[in-house]
């Protein structure tokens, strides 16, 4: 029997994650039964749980993947750019019927719900969520050192502010509310953390 390559294993794992993401988005964590996960991934439960210990581990892997991708964007471009990317995704069609592919929203909202209701999940998630928070603070500190960040508000406060805006944006998009004015809103958010203009004296 030919050995399966590392690339093939990684591709199969990602295939499972992609299918599971759609399933969790459509049915929520509780409604994403093993049968539905099989249908969404096109694989048997044995194949799915060969890669992931159980449904909880599968969901946590999805949430970790999202947080890691966001942290990468934050490190290079900031948390507001993450929000712009989410908004752009909400506006794009999925290539089939013109509707937006918002499966990432389902994962994000399920994370928020489980953090409130599941102490075991909350404990397991804390270490992984720290990556995004750390990336945000590090980015803001670099901006502050470069003189590009307002200096009248502490960096941790600005980081928490941006995180709250992100959560609000996710909820807004998840509810299917209008997005036409959100570019302007994000412009205001971005301007609100920038260095304040220096007053110029008069002769």
Please give the angle made by the CA atoms of 73, 79 and 82, to the nearest 5 degrees.
60
42 alpha-carbon distance from chain centroid: 25
Model confidence pLDDT, tens digit, residues 47-77? 999 999 999 899 989 888 888 888 899 999 9
* Per-residue tokens: 122: 């909350």
Distance CA 162, CA 124 (A): 23
Distance CA 198, CA 169 (A): 31
Distance CA 114, CA 174 (A): 16
What pLDDT sits at residue 99? 42
Domains of the chain (ranges; CATH) run: 1-52 (1.10.10), 75-193 (1.10.357.10)
Model-wide pTM > 0.85: no
Model confidence pLDDT, tens digit, residues 169-191? 988 887 888 888 999 999 999 99
């Amino acid at each position: 029997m030919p050995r399966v390559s590392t690339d093939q294993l990684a591709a199969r794992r990602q295939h499972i994650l992609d299918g599971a993401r759609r399933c969790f988005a459509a049915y929520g964590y509780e409604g994403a039964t093993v049968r539905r996960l099989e249908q969404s991934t096109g694989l048997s439960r044995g194949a799915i749980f060969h890669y992931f210990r159980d449904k909880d581990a599968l969901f946590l892997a999805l949430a970790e993947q999202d947080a890691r991708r966001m942290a990468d964007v934050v490190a290079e471009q900031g948390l507001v750019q993450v929000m712009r990317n989410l908004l752009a995704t909400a506006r794009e069609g999925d290539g089939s019927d013109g509707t937006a592919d918002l499966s990432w929203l389902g994962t994000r909202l399920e994370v928020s719900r489980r953090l409130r209701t599941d102490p075991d999940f909350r404990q397991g998630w804390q270490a992984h969520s720290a990556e995004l928070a750390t990336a945000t603070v590090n980015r803001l500190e670099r901006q502050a050192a470069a003189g590009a960040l307002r200096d009248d508000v502490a960096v941790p406060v600005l980081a928490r502010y941006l995180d709250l805006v992100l959560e609000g944006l996710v909820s807004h998009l998840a509810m299917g509310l209008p997005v036409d004015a959100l570019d302007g809103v994000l412009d205001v958010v971005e301007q609100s953390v920038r260095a304040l203009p220096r007053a110029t004296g008069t002769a």
